[in-house]
A and B are shown apart, each in its own frame.
Chain A
Amino acid sequence: MTHACHEKHWKQWFSPQFICLIGWMVGLILLLLHGQYQLYIATDFWPLLAVAIGGLFILLYAQTAKISSSSGCGCSAKSSLGRWLSVALLLLPVWLTLAGPTHESLNANAFASRWLAPASLASLTQNVASQPWGHDDQATSTLSSVSLQTIVTDGPAMAGRRIATIGRTYRDPSLPDDTFLIFRFVVACCAADAVPIAVLVQTNQQPLPESDQWIRIEGRITVSQSANQPQIAIIDASHSRVKPPDAPYLTAGW
């Protein structure tokens, strides 16, 4: 192999195509192994990433064959600043996942921009406050752990029950001093389609948790009516800080 030929061969191994394929494959494998993919896509969707890794492996194999073959067209050997910018652009998502925070999921900022409150927060609080706190017919003392999704969908049937659930806090200035929102995101496929769900929490435990903290709530469900819509709230609640769950999003359930 001549010096020029050797240099060309070296350049092909470090070609933008080769680096992009390797970068994406390593990035996806790390996300899958560490479970961090759950910060971006629904937990059940891990097979899709496995398919992508398999597909990229096949493409990488073909690319390797192209480099080893002497009949390659050499197009990939050309290297320029613009080409490397393309590589950087293609690898940007991988770079953002590997170099960014490792446990960060959609936060209160995303909640505030995506949540469609059934009424203004202030009026919602008034509706709940106008109800006789904690005098529902089905009042029980048994504590059951339920997801926030269950509370939102089956709340009217759970009125009076003592429940425990986890979620993230959202403090709004328009809410009274003893009240805040607990929220989660429900995803169908990925965080881009995440829809927030939230329930009002009333507590006598001070100080209230800061906004955006993961907490466990224990309290009793109460339901009031507002514009013919049931408004669900958790009252007499106690709260404690918890670690963020591995799977921060709830799934829409196909």
Chain B
Amino acid sequence: MSQLTSNSIPRVLPGFSLVKVARPVIVLMLLFVIVAMPWLLGQSASGATFRITLVSILLEAIPFVVLGSIIGGVIEVFVSPQWLTRIIPRRQYLAVPVAALGGFLLPVCECAVVPVARRLLAKGVPFPAVLAYMLAAPIVNPLVIASTAVAYLGDTRMVVLRTVGGYIVAVIVPLIIRWRWRQTDSILLQHAKPNTGCGCGHTHQHGSGTCGGHGKHQRKPLSERLTEAMRHAVDDFLLVGRFLVIGALMAAIIHTALDRQIVASIGASPVFSTLAMMAMAGGLNLCSEADAFVAASLSGILAFSAQLAFLVLGPMMDIKLAAMYLAFMKRTAVAWIIALVCAGVFGFSMLTHLLIGGGS
């Protein structure tokens, strides 16, 4: 079956294309909606909740996205692929569990991890290892372990199970992806593939001097290399930021529409409460350093396994993260990762329920 493209749409008049006319109209309408949004949201109480939630998600995420972009830029310019090849085990089934512990070395939250991961991929780090780091770092890191301990008043069960669960899922999912796609580079969009130069999102040839001569990073003075690193950071910030805003928009809609009493009302069933909490984790997009406080507020209402599922899934996969993944991965791969992570978290939570019971 032939694919429908703008060229295949019949032209009413010579030189007239419906797509060409409709596109600017749609873009202008969207621009109008964006400009009018403060007024539109001011008309209702729900509008205020939506606005505050959207802005708060972004204000909390932006510092980390900026930092992640800067770290990514520094990796791009200062870290050589040869050095990365030396420190990462050659065999991928060994590289994955090692990379999943990367959060202890570079403790970044889920917002900062995407630009860093993008640069690691461009440097030639194998995709399964980068995916393991992306999934594990927001959970298996000292800051998140500490915040979980504080929120649960030192309940070591939750702290240990969250960390262990996050690690196990972060190791298993990339290995399955590796098994599913032998050539994992095919998962990536063109600009994120290794050996395409700086991975700044442009399709031009590097090393030819057309983009500041990226191929000659090593030979430039330090000040120039730092400037070069920050230029890459700008590109990362703008690329990832766009997807972050789209994800936050969807999360704010869910925050505004979701009645948590409904989620709490199915607390008696471990299976349904776990599924409900997983849906909530995916929709609410809470920071991994803050979500434990929300989960702890549900102690006594929802089963322990449901709280655990919320805490393990949220940092690994939510709407905002899925949108940010689309900045450098193909949609099919993102869909697979979402499905595998959800299945892994559900399985781990149910296993926990069977082993330690349904106490809250």
Interface of B is mostly: helix
Which chain A residue lies CB-closest to B251? A192
Encode A156-195 as 1/0 by CB contact (under 8 A) with B.
Answer: 0000000000000000000000000000001111111101
A55 touches B67 (CB 8 A): yes
B335 at the interface (CB under 8 A from A): no
B234 touches A100 (CB 8 A): no
Q: How far is the CA of A88 from the CA of B35 in the complex (A)?
A: 8
Residues of A close to B231: CB separation below 8 A: 62-63, 65-66
B70 at the interface (CB under 8 A from A): yes
B59 touches A84 (CB 8 A): no
A189 touches B259 (CB 8 A): no
> Which of the residues B209, B245, B290 comes within 8 Å of A189, measured between beta carbons?
B290
Interface size on A, residues (CB 8 A): 71
Residues of B close to A37: CB separation below 8 A: 59
Residues of B close to A49: CB separation below 8 A: 59, 63
A89 touches B212 (CB 8 A): no
Tell me, rounded to whole Å, the shortest Cβ–Cβ distance linking A231 to chain B. 14
B79 at the interface (CB under 8 A from A): no
B151 touches A71 (CB 8 A): no
Q: How far is the CA of A48 from the CA of B290 in the complex (A)?
A: 15
> Which of the residues B48, B63, B245, B286 comes within 8 Å of A107, measured between beta carbons?
B48
**Given known A62-B227, A114-B260, contact A188–B290 (CB-CB < 8 A):** yes
**Given known A85-B30, A92-B34, A97-B55, contact A55–B63 (CB-CB < 8 A):** yes
A82 at the interface (CB under 8 A from B): yes
Q: How far is the CA of A90 from the CA of B264 in the complex (A)?
A: 35
Q: How far is the CA of A82 from the CA of B245 in the complex (A)?
A: 16
B31 at the interface (CB under 8 A from A): yes
Residues of B close to A132: CB separation below 8 A: none
A192 touches B53 (CB 8 A): yes
Tell me, rounded to whole Å, the shortest Cβ–Cβ distance linking A108 to chain B. 7
Residues of A close to B42: CB separation below 8 A: 100-101
B45 touches A193 (CB 8 A): no
A29 at the interface (CB under 8 A from B): no
Q: How far is the CA of A143 from the CA of B27 in the complex (A)?
A: 60
Q: How far is the CA of A100 from the CA of B37 in the complex (A)?
A: 9
Tell me, rounded to whole Å, the shortest Cβ–Cβ distance linking A18 to chain B. 9
Encode B284-310 as 1/0 by CB contact (under 8 A) with A.
Answer: 111101111110011001000000000
B69 at the interface (CB under 8 A from A): yes
> Which of the residues B27, B52, B211, B298 comes within 8 Å of A191, measured between beta carbons?
B52
B151 touches A55 (CB 8 A): no
Which chain A residue lies CB-closest to B261? A116
Residues of A close to B209: CB separation below 8 A: 71
B63 touches A73 (CB 8 A): no
Interface residues of B in 212-226 (CB under 8 A from A): 212-213
Interface residues of B in 191-211 (CB under 8 A from A): 202, 204, 209-211
Chain B interface bracket (under 10, 10 to 19, 20 to 34, 35 or more): 35 or more
Residues of B close to A89: CB separation below 8 A: 34, 242, 245-246
Encode A62-102 as 1/0 by CB contact (under 8 A) with B.
Answer: 11011001011101000001101110111011011101110
B94 at the interface (CB under 8 A from A): no
A59 at the interface (CB under 8 A from B): yes
Residues of B close to A63: CB separation below 8 A: 231, 234
Q: How far is the CA of A191 from the CA of B286 in the complex (A)?
A: 10
B258 at the interface (CB under 8 A from A): yes
B45 touches A190 (CB 8 A): no
Which chain A residue lies CB-closest to B243? A89
Residues of A close to B301: CB separation below 8 A: 116
B230 touches A62 (CB 8 A): yes
A100 touches B67 (CB 8 A): no
B57 touches A192 (CB 8 A): yes
**Given known A62-B230, A63-B234, contact A107–B212 (CB-CB < 8 A):** no
B293 touches A195 (CB 8 A): yes
A59 touches B212 (CB 8 A): no
**Given known A17-B234, A62-B231, A89-B245, contact A69–B212 (CB-CB < 8 A):** yes
A141 at the interface (CB under 8 A from B): no
Encode A193-227 as 1/0 by CB contact (under 8 A) with B.
Answer: 10100000000000000001000000000000000
Q: How far is the CA of A187 from the CA of B291 in the complex (A)?
A: 10
Find the residue from B35, B51, B62 having the highest chain A CB count within 10 A. Answer: B62
Which chain B residue lies CB-closest to A100? B38
A52 touches B62 (CB 8 A): yes
B48 touches A101 (CB 8 A): yes
Given A73-B211, A93-B54, A113-B261, 18 other A-B residues pairs in contact with their CB atoms under 8 A: A55-B66, A59-B237, A73-B210, A81-B27, A85-B27, A86-B238, A95-B35, A96-B37, A100-B41, A100-B51, A109-B45, A113-B49, A115-B261, A116-B301, A188-B147, A189-B287, A192-B251, A252-B293
Q: Which chain B residues have a beta carbon within 8 Å of chain A's beta carbons?
A: 23-24, 27-28, 30-31, 34-35, 37-38, 41-42, 45-46, 48-49, 51-60, 62-63, 66-67, 69-70, 147, 150-151, 202, 204, 209-213, 227, 230-231, 233-234, 237-238, 241-242, 245-246, 248, 251, 255-261, 264, 284-287, 289-294, 297-298, 301
Task: Name 5 A/B residue pairs within 8 A (Cβ), A-sorted.
Answer: A41-B59, A51-B66, A59-B230, A110-B256, A189-B60
For the complex of A and B, 4 pairs with smallest distance between CB atoms:
A62-B230, A109-B45, A55-B66, A189-B290
